[in-house]
Structure formats: structure tokens, C-alpha cells
Structure 1
């Protein structure tokens, strides 16, 4: 099976990004600035371009080089956001990381968890990777719900891990290995077999959004 062929569940699907998607992605990014800015990667060296024509070219080059697989997420055939499998490592590590964003008007429709499940299954079953990781800012409750629904296992707090919205930000790390979902993560979720406590964050690592610190900090 072609690992870049579209994958779908009901009206929700992922497919490899195309050069002609740049205009639609640009429109979604610009129309969702307030919604997306708090979670967008930035550069400590200064402003970066939001030109999606350049961005898509870079993503497709990364795909050709074997370093990632860039997808768009769709709902009833309409572009809703992006999901990128990046940092692919082969050999003894055999892992990758998933990052994603969805337009505000499509939030709450189950698009993101379904697409993350589709992409994870593809990486395990077609790309034969062993471990998939998702890293999330502690303040991003919507994204935390994605890993809770799918049963990604909490692995720890990474301090000042990624430059987001102008600063180095802490992230929670969640992961799955292939042996944990032998029938696929989508099937496990749909059949109600997700472990209830897999993504639970221990008190020492929990973030207090009102104080801006972890609950266990002093």
C-alpha cells in the first residue's frame, strides 16, 4: 500500500500536501491568527515568513529527503488544517513526532484526533516506525484532549523545549510504541479500549494557568 495515499474515516481524511494547497493553507492561517498564534512555532532569531508557498516547498523537500511526511487534514473534502510527521529517524530509533493545527471553525468535530490516529497508524503499519511522539504546551487544553482520547502515554515534562509564540516554552511529551496498538490506534479508540489513565499528568508536572507555573513548583 502506498503510504502517501489518502487515509480516511467517515468524512475526515488526511493526504499528502500538494503545491496547490499553499493558497488555501495561507488563507486558513491568516484567517485564524488569534486562534493559532499562541501555539505556533517561532524562531529565536527573529520573525519567520508565513508564505505557505515556501513552506509547502520545504515540507515536500523534507518528504523527498525522508525526514517527514506533510499532510493536510480535510472534512468532507474541505481543507481544515495541517498534520506533519517530522523528525523521522530510522535504524535503532525508528521514531517520529506529530504536530498539527486545525482551523477554529472546524474545532470540536473530532477532526484532529481522527487525523492523528490515521497518521499514527500509517506510520506504524506502512512506514514501519516503532515510536510516535506528540509534544504539547501545558496550556493547550484542546490539544491535551487529543492525546487523552487516543491514549498516548505521558512520558514527562520537557522544559523550554520549543520556541513558541516568541519564547522558549515547556512541553508535555506523550508517546506510543507499535506494540501498544497491535490493531491500530484508530480501532482501539473506536472500540472503547483506550486506557483511561494513559495521558494522566502527575501532580508534580501539572501546570497552573493562573500562576503560569507547574503546580508542584514553588
Structure 2
């Protein structure tokens, strides 16, 4: 399955993405280090790329996550995952993402998040989507501000990042808060006509 709007495409992650993903991660190591989850001391190191893809795809089959590669003009630009998907009376998921520093500020991440949120609220059937951001991450704070996510407050020591437990602010939207679609609202705010998905 692919989601597309203009130059931005979301598609499933594959094992064949290993080389491109590795190059992109290496080029962005310093850019991503302050924001990326790290294993606490005494736990297993991050998995290899094939193991990560295998685990993400298994979680996707179980309805627990939706992992995507973000492409800009058909070139890999980053990654976006809806994780921690819960069903029953909660119907919620958490969006996490990263994008190539060279492409930051071009509207790629807000477009990707808006498309994903619409997909979550529509065909997938979630009711709530949240994004958790370190208070110092100004670029990500701009993404949720542009898209109208509601600030729900601070979570102390929420996630292990860059060697320590870091606070995060939680932002959320429910399906009722974007009845006409988040992507249409975002594109209208930019002065763009909505593009077909």
C-alpha cells in the first residue's frame, strides 16, 4: 500500500532498502542523535536492519504498527512509523518519524504525518493519534503546530534517548478534530489544492 500527495510518498519498508537506508542514516547521524531512542544500559543493542524490518513487518501483520519509508520525488527521504497501535475501546496509535536534514523545512514531514493520520482515521479505523516530542526539538514542534495537534502536556522521563531518560511533550488528535481530513487542511493552509492519494 502507498500513500501519496504531490512529491511525497509513503510506502512499506523492505529489506532491499538496506543500502539506501544505511547511507541516509549515516549522513544524518549527528542530526538524529539528540532525538532517537537508545537502549538503556544493560539491554540489547539496536537490531540490524534486516532484523528491524522483520520485526516491523511482524508487528504490522499483527495490527500493532504501520512502518513506512518516506520518499520525496521517489527518493528515500526518511521513515515514519505508527507504533503502539491499540484496538478495542482505545483505538489509538503513536506516530514517530525522521527526515533527511537536507530536506527538512520543505513540508515533507507535515505532509507525511497528515497523510498517515488520515489513513489511520479512515481505512484503519483508529480514533486517536499522538506524537511525542522532546521539548527541545523545535523542528518537530513546528510539525505538530502546523497540523493543529493538541498539546496534552509533559511526560517526565518518557523515553530513553541519547543515553538518558528524556522528557517529552505529548500532542494528539482525535478523528472528530479532523472531520474533513488533516491533509486537506494542511494543503489548504499552504495554499495547495488537495492531491489525490
Kindly report which structure 2 residues correspond to 1:51-130, keeping only aligned pairs within 5 A, or say none: 51-130=48-127
TM-score by length of 2: 0.92
CA contact (8 A) 1:26 1:51 kept: no
Query: Can you list the C-alpha shifts for 1:38-71, whole angstroms capped at 9, x where unaligned?
Result: 1110111346236222211111111112110000
* SS at structure 2 position matched to 1:139: coil
Higher Rg: 1
In structure 2, the gaps of 5 or more residues are 191-197
Query: Can you list the C-alpha shifts for 1:188-214, whole angstroms capped at 9, x where unaligned?
Result: 122239xxxxxxxxxxxxxxxxxxxxx
In structure 1, the residue matched to 2:25 is: 29
- Cα distance between partner residues in 1 of 2:89 and 2:24: 38
Name which of 137, 142, 148 aligns with 2:139. Answer: 142
- Is 1:40 aligned with 2:57? no
- Cα distance between partner residues in 2 of 1:65 and 1:127: 13
**CA RMSD in angstroms, aligned pairs only:** 1.4
Post-superposition offset of 1:116: 0.4
**Greater RCO (Cα-Cα under 8 Å, separation 6 or more):** 2
Judge which range, 9-18 or 72-81, deviates more. Answer: 9-18
- Cα distance between partner residues in 2 of 1:11 and 1:146: 18
CA contact (8 A) 1:85 1:99 kept: yes
In structure 2, the residue matched to 1:178 is: 175
Query: What is the aligned residue count?
Result: 189
- Is 1:157 aligned with 2:162? no
- Cα distance between partner residues in 1 of 2:98 and 2:34: 11
TM-score by length of 1: 0.83
CA contact (8 A) 1:39 1:164 kept: yes
